[in-house]
Amino acid sequence: MRNIAIFASGTGSNFQAIINAVSSKELKANITILISDKPNCKAIEKAIAKNIHYFAFKAKNYSSKEACEKDLLIHLEEHKVDLIVLAGYMRLIGPTLLKKYPNRIINIHPSLLPTFKGMDALGQAMKANVTVTGVTVHFVDAGMDTGAIISQESLNIESFATREEIETAIHKIEHKLYPKVINKVLEDL
């Protein structure tokens, strides 16, 4: 069985969906570590509740991104991580991790990339008045949301009345799609 690391900075609803998919054996992997740059985030509470090992750090305590990622590498190697899964992780991945995990870092983003990269993708979609948006899972490269696309699912948002309703629908898609795609990526490793 392959080992995965989840990187998260926030609520961790995707992290929870991945935990659930592992429990139900839909996802054939071990979550060996959660890594977070936000020591008080909800994702960490979810790791504690499930007895999943976690490492929390503050970027400002390192002299550089390189120093920070070298430290993360120690944890990743200690936990024999095969694939890094970003789930609401709010930092760009630098060359230190990219070199050690080529095509082994994936991300989920709430838009149909390459449209609406970066922060608040849903806000961008609403501002642009699109009728269809969606979710993308992609490999991570040095850019922001620019890596090769692995899978996408679209969502027609015409009939939704509020941003909250759209957010809920996007999360629902993410929670189903991400475990499936992780399985596929692990099979192809």
**Residues annotated as part of the active site:** 109
Span 149-188, contacts to ligand GRF by CB under 6 A = 174
| Contact with ligand GRF (CB under 6 A) among 88, 134, 147, 179 | 88
Instruction: Give a three-class secondary structure readout of the chain.
Output: CEEEEEECCCCCHHHHHHHHHHHCCCCCEEEEEEEECCCCCHHHHHHHHCCCCEEECCHHHCCCHHHHHHHHHHHHHHCCCCEEEECCCCCCCCHHHHHHCCCCEEEEECCCCCCCCCCCHHHHHHHCCCCEEEEEEEECCCCCCCCCEEEEEEEECCCCCCHHHHHHHHHHHHHHHHHHHHHHHHHHC
Span 116-135, contacts to ligand GRF by CB under 6 A = none
Choice between 66 and 167, CB closer to ligand GRF: 167
Residue 63 CB, shortest distance to ligand GRF, in Å, is: 27
| Contact with ligand GRF (CB under 6 A) among 6, 7, 13, 186 | 13
Choice between 88 and 179, CB closer to ligand GRF: 88
Q: Is 87 an interacting residue with respect to ligand GRF (CB under 6 A)? A: yes
CB-CB contact of 165 with 95 (8 Å):
no
Span 96-115, contacts to ligand GRF by CB under 6 A = 108-110
Stretch that binds ligand GRF, among 3-11, 46-54, 63-71, 148-156 (CB under 6 A): 3-11
Choice between 97 and 134, CB closer to ligand GRF: 134
Question: Which residues would be at the binding site for ligand GRF (CB under 6 A)?
Answer: 8, 10-15, 87-88, 108-110, 174
